[in-house]
Structure 1
Amino acid sequence: MKKNLLLIGASLLLGACSTTPEPSKPEQEKPATTKVTVVGLNDFHGNLEPTSFAGVMVPDPKDPTKQVKLTTGGIEVIGGYLDQERAKNANLTFVGAGDLIGASPVTSSLLRDEPSVIGLSKLGMQYSSLGNHEFDQGYKELLRMQNGGCDSNAPDKACKFQNPYPRATFSWLGANVEVKATGKPALPAYGIQEIGGARIAFIGAVTKTTPTIVSPDGVADLKFLDEAESINKYVPELKAKGVDAIIVLIHEGGVSKDGFDKPACGTLTGPIVNIVNKLDPAVDAVISGHTHQGYNCVVNGRTVIQGDYYGHLLQRLDMTIDLQKHKVTDIRAANVVMDPNTITKNAEMTALVGRAKSLTDAVKQRAIGSLAAPTISRTTNAAGESALGDLIADSQLAATADRGAVIAFMNPGGIRADLNATGGGTTVTFGDAYAVQPFGNTLVVMDLTGAQIKALLEQQFDNPSAGQNRVLQVSKNFTYSYDSTAAAGNRVDPASIKLGGVTLDPAKTYRVTLNSFLSTGGDNFTTFASGTNVLQLPNVSDLDALTAYIVAHPGVAGGAQDRIVKLK
């Protein structure tokens, strides 16, 4: 049988040879170059719906002689832009630079940010760096957001949008986050995507200050390492894998004097500059976040871009890649305004937002009281005090006065928005208040001595969590002054620290109120961690205190911003 088969095969081969052969076709050569577009989103914070963007002013529809902020962003418009650009270029990938969730509006937060993660997954996001707010609810809950399921520390919110919650189809990346017990990455350090014939590596990192700006107990099992060193650690591994480009997605940033739309700006300052200057030369570009700034800069010959926040802008990198030499030969960077007036909305995202609103609007729209004016602002004066900060501190003091509290402190970073009355009137809703304080921190009461309060106030200046001053908001009848030019540790005049007009006694004990984030040393206010007679109030949140205060004070106004005095 074998011989017969061989004969048949030989006969067929001879027959084939007897015909005139066709000219052989050369194997299709791999193109020399390809063009790939990377679209980035940073600091989305679950803002499914559009919000005001200070970067673009337009005529007021009610009075064309006045200018108002352009309303931009929202997941429907982001989806529409991606649809539009993918139709032009299939070689497009969508990535993130952290804080996609956390500190979110009611529509997303009351559903544990699951609508936001599901929406971004449906829009084809591939990778995102971790952000500090991804850790707001702790590492275990972050793993649930990544991997799916309903085993949440907020069972009243989880799996209410979709049951079971499926998972994020994109991967959060954190090259500089390790599990203490094992030394292994808490989540993948990098990912590689093949697109347009190119293999593009994305390395993720998050600000190493994360443990000081989230509740410390939620990340107690993790180590946050130097960003640049951690990124560089993986570059040789990626080069060995023959990648054609390396993009860093990092949740750390800076500020620039130039606008978001000025290309190749050279005025960027802040932590991101030091990080970028230490990166391996093989890194081609950096998509950044965290500082909520729109900029498009060049640092040490490398594109560094950030797109404001809440989806107002998307970062865009149009790259030309040499596939033979495995290198990027050209990058054109831009921030693109997500303008609902010029971009057709994505229908699937419209349906998603509609469902999220249907599940949350009843709670969001419940009126709780009234304001003296349409807005109480969180904008600070020269001393670092805001009208809204005063109000929040007063509300927390009022909520704990029956526990002996005489002073309340509020961290400014926990005030996420102005308190805006609905529709520009004076009626304020639960949703309006929730937008101001979305974290759900509970209140804590403790004893501090006058000397400890002095030390606490000194910790506000050159605060390493912020890289700048981080002035605590304080309750009524508590006053002090400071000199910003004095030596560290001596900026607050002890004689100026007064309660009800009486200077604090360094040896006397005072009962103070703060939120659970601050109570364990959040924002590097470590003095709070040494308080005594600590009373946890697990059933009283900071939002509860604010809403109760608004209910009890119809027509409430912000504070007069006269509690803190900056001498110079």
Structure 2
Amino acid sequence: MPRQNLAAFASLVLPFLAIAPAEAATRHHHAAVGPVAIGPVEIGIVAFNDFHGNLEPPRQSVAAPDGKGGTVAVPAGGAAWFASAVEQIRAKYRYHLTVAAGDMTSASQLASSLYLDEPTVGVMNRLGVDYNAVGNHEFDRGRAELLRLQNGGCAKYTVHQPCALEPFAGASYHYLAASTVDVATGKTLFPASDLRWFGKGRARVSVGVIGLALKDVPSLVSAGGVTGLAFRDEVETINAETRKLKAAGADAVVVLIHQGGAATGDDPNGCKGLTGDIRPILDRLDPQVDLVVSGHTHRDYVCDYPVPGRAGTLLLTSAGHYGEEVTDIALSIDPRRHRVVARHAHNVIVQSVGYTSAKGSVAPTTVYPQFQPDPAIAAYVGRYVTAAHGAITRVVGHLSGPATRGEGGDIWDGAGLGNLIADAHLAATRVAGAQIALTGPLGIRAQIVPGSDGAVTFGDLYASQPFGNLLVTETLTGAELKATLEQGIDDRGPFEVLSPSAGFAWRFDRSRAEGDRVVAMTFEGKPVDPAAHYRVTINNFLAQGGDGFTGFAGKADAVNGGADIDAFEAWVGAVPVRTVPAEHRVLREGVR
């Protein structure tokens, strides 16, 4: 035997030879032998939410601490980079689960949406996702299409052709829908929960996973998408399912819920001033719940949430949206006491590649790690991106002429294109009671110049509205509407004059004092009443306070609609030739 092998052999055997006499003596005197100590078993949970089919980098950034008391914009997202981040986190743990808290699909990027989000499911299969809770947008195309995403097949339930690029086998991960019940059968649409075991022998532990949507799904999607379904109370559902899982042997209980909140500040791992609909749910949860992975609000936070009457705190997480972040969670489970004895979580920013926004260049930063794209995922996504290129040339309608916006120093002015988009958004959300629609010129990325025959392609529309934003309709008083318009023309944020839909007009004067620059507002020819209530549609970026429009944020009666690009296409194609609005709905007075 070679010398190095002998040395290795000796290093393994000699320690046992050295303790052999003591063991023999113990057996000779028949002394009791204590049980071998078994330490906690660590389970890694890789969590995310609201991916929304963002296969390519979404050209957005995460605001995060720069280590010097300020913040830095970190460009993030893209499925290939997301895959690398997930793998890096999972490599830390012998045992792990990868989970999502809903809205994985729908309101997606073009390369995913055109193919009914089959490529997003394909990406998640390749990533090895274990569970996804159904969110509200999972129902955008109806129950039958959602079931197809789970089960596979090429049955056609929408205007788009399934299996257009390749056969579709469905999701290898499991959808969970504990609170979504088929009224006819009394059964949940998907399983309510699942129990997963890790380890062997006395070190074996189990994790129960519950997944559910928010109970307000019917008010967030079209009625046809949820016909015959009931959405039960979140807390009652979770608590009942928790008791079942604990009775079945669960050592830890993890809840994936498509409901969330919002924290203040620019720290992805902060929880300062947590607000939102998730709080009353947390306050009533069974104390045996160990972790809540949330979503829906597109916010990022990590909270040790104090639940009334509970010993210790409850761990609550959310990873923002669009695959820009992923949460690294560790649960330490004591297999003897059958409970979680320690846990921690951290949001990881999926830094990818820089991009150019309406406000300028956003470059990668050395403050946070930059991930490299996973080659296999990049190649898979590339097939769909290439295939979608043909759809870009599809003619969707005709315009009466160019739809332009202000350029250079007049970029604040949405002009005819802003009016056209606002009209489209209003038409799409009339069903939600919309009376007025407003859109931000800084979100309009390109003018539309139709062909010589007036033809406009889907690519033309998408170039002007490329962000995949959703429409949100909410109620504001006339006074709140004025105060919010003022936020776009103050001296503290970007100068942005919101473009209105037909029937609403306003005038402003920047030479006046802040807060008093809107000098007139009219709706249907009459002055806006400060005390009256108006249903107003904006996109979800503005609804979350984007570009400084905080007056739109936090409205309790907000109703989510479809994607802005879908509304735009429907409006342009609804008549033989859509006239580009020429009237000036916003007038600027004075000089500043």
Instruction: Give the TM bin, normalised by the shorter chain.
Output: 0.5 to 0.7
Structure 1 residue 267 corresponds to structure 2 residue 278:
no
**CA-to-aligned-CA distance 1:360-384 (integer Å, 9 cap, x gap):** 0233377996643579x9x9x9xxx
Q: Does 1:432 align with 2:485?
A: no
- Return the alpha-carbon distance in structure 1 between the equivalents of residues 224 and 379 of structure 2: 37
The equivalent residue for 2:63 is 56
TM-superposed CA distance for 1:302, in Å, is 0.7
* Correspondence list, 1:201-220, <5 A: 201-220=208-227
Matches within 5 A, 1:212-361: 212-263=219-270, 265-300=271-306, 301-340=313-352, 342-361=370-389
Q: Structure 2: 5+ residue runs without aligned partners?
A: 1-22, 28-32, 307-312, 354-369, 448-456, 482-497, 508-520, 530-536, 538-555, 560-565
CA offsets 1:124-179 (integer angstroms, 9 cap, x no match): 1000111000000111111111111111212633111322x101111111111111
Are 1:79 and 2:91 an aligned pair? no
Helix, strand or coil at the partner of 1:273: helix
- Is the 1:371–1:555 contact (alpha carbons within 8 Å) kept by the matching residues of 2? no
SS at 2:463 equivalent: helix
Aligned mates of 1:242, 1:173 — CA distance in 2 = 19
Check the 8 A contact 2:506/2:586 in 1, yes or no: no
Q: Describe the superposition over 1:81-114 as per-residue Cα deviations: whole angstroms up to 9, x where unpaired.
A: 2222333333222100000001111110000000
Q: Distance in 1 between matches of 2:189 and 2:252?
A: 24
- Residues 340-374 of structure 1 show CA distances to partners (whole Å, capped at 9, x for unaligned) of 26222222211111111111023337799664357
Q: 1:313 to 1:142 in 2, by over 3 A?
A: same
Please tell me whether the aligned partners of residues 181 and 231 of structure 2 are also in contact (alpha carbons under 8 angstroms): yes
Summarize the alignment of residues 67-146 of structure 1 with structure 2, pairs less than 5 Å apart.
Answer: 69-146=73-150
Match of residue 524, structure 2, among 481, 499, 511? 499
CA contact (8 A) 1:97 1:129 kept: yes
Are the counterparts in 2 of residues 260 and 335 from structure 1 also a CA contact under 8 Å?
A: no
Equivalent residue number for residue 477 of structure 1: 503
- Tell me the percent identity: 32
CA shift, 1:201, in A, is 1.0
Distance across 1 between alignment mates of 2:427 and 2:39: 69
* Residue in 1 that maps onto 2:423: 394
Q: Find the counterpart in structure 2 of residue 186 from structure 1.
A: 189
- The answer for unaligned runs of 5 or more in structure 1 is 1-21, 60-66, 400-406, 441-454, 463-471, 482-495, 505-513, 515-522, 527-539, 563-568
Deviations 1:303-330 (A, max 9, x none): 1111111011111211211111111111
Pairing 1:522-561 to 2, within 5 Å after superposition: 542-546=568-572, 560=586
| 1:161 aligned onto 2:165 | yes
AA of the residue aligned to 2:504: F
Structure 1 stretch displaced more, 312-321 or 286-295: 312-321
Q: Is the 8 A contact 1:437 1:542 kept in 2?
A: no
Deviation by residue 1:242-285 (Cα, 9 ceiling, x = unmatched)? 1121111010001111434345x352111101101111000001
CA distance in 2, matches of 1:460, 1:231: 40
Which whole-Å CA distance do the structure 2 matches of 1:396 and 1:473 have between them?
Answer: 11
In the alignment, which residue of structure 2 is the partner of 1:363? 391
Which one-letter code corresponds to 2:297 in the other structure? T
| Kept after mapping to 2: 8 A contact 1:93/1:126 | yes
Task: Using the TM superposition, name which of 173-182 and 87-96 deviates more.
Answer: 87-96
- How far apart are the structure 1 equivalents of 2:61 and 2:75? 9
Structure 1, residues 26-46: CA drift from partner, whole Å, max 9, x if none?
999694321111011100000
Shift in CA distance, 561/350, structure 1 to aligned 2, threshold 3 Å: farther
Aligned to 2:6: none
The separation in 2 between residues aligned to 1:299 and 1:58, in whole angstroms, is 22
Q: Contact conserved, 1:52 with 1:69, CA < 8 A, in 2?
A: no
Indicate how the Cα distance of structure 1 residues 269 and 502 shifts in structure 2: closer, same or farther if over 3 A, else same: closer
Aligned-partner SS, 2:166: coil
Q: Does 1:418 align with 2:443?
A: yes
What is the alpha-carbon distance in structure 1 between the residues aligned to residue 478 and residue 525 of structure 2?
23
1:561–1:181 Cα change, 3 Å: farther
Shift of 1:48: 0.5
Question: Are the structure 2 counterparts of residues 48 and 272 from structure 1 closer, same or farther at C-alpha, using a change threshold of 3 Å?
Answer: same
What is residue 149 of structure 1 aligned with on the other side? Answer: 153
The amino acid that maps onto 1:332 is H
2:179 to 169, 176, 179: 176
Show CA shifts across 1:427-469 (max 9, x none).
Answer: 97343356466889xxxxxxxxxxxxxx99889999xxxxxxx
State the number of aligned residues.
Answer: 451
Q: What per-residue deviation string (whole Å, max 9, x for no partner) do you get for residues 41-64 of structure 1? A: 1000000011234423799xxxxx
- Output the TM-score relative to the length of structure 1: 0.67
Q: Which residue of 2 aligns with 1:7?
A: none
Contact 1:396/1:408, CA 8 A, preserved across alignment: no
- Is the Cα–Cα contact under 8 Å of residues 253 and 289 in structure 2 kept in the other structure? yes
Contact 1:373 1:557 in 2 (8 A): no
- Counterpart residue identity of residue 423, structure 2: D
Contact 1:47 / 1:105 at 8 angstroms: preserved in 2? yes
Counterpart AA for 1:275: I
Q: Is the 8 A contact 1:370 1:556 kept in 2?
A: no
Q: Give the aligned residue type for 2:386.
A: S
Deviation of the 1:228 alpha carbon? 0.9
Structure 1, residues 449-500: CA drift from partner, whole Å, max 9, x if none?
Answer: xxxxxx99889999xxxxxxxxx9962233699xxxxxxxxxxxxxx87424
User: Cα–Cα, structure 1 residues 553 and 217, in superposed 2: closer, same or farther, change >3 Å?
Assistant: closer
Amino acid at match of 2:206: R
1:286-315 C-alpha deviation (Å, 9 max, x unpaired): 110000111111222111111111011111
Q: Is contact 1:317-1:332 (8 Å) kept? A: yes
**1:68/1:355 CA distance change after superposition, 3 Å:** farther
The answer on whether the counterparts of 1:320 and 1:329 sit within 8 Å (CA) in structure 2 is: yes
Cα deviation 1:515-567 (Å, max 9, x = unaligned):
xxxxxxxx9799xxxxxxxxxxxxx9642325899x978999996399xxxxx
How far is 1:501 from its partner? 5.0
- Note if contact 1:58-1:70 (Cα within 8 Å) is conserved in structure 2: no
Letter in 1 for 2:382: G
Q: Could you state the TM-score of these two structures normalised by the residue count of structure 2?
A: 0.65
SS across alignment from 1:115: helix
Checking the alignment, whether the CA contact within 8 Å between 1:83 and 1:346 is kept in structure 2 is no
Q: Pairwise CA RMSD of aligned residues?
A: 4.8
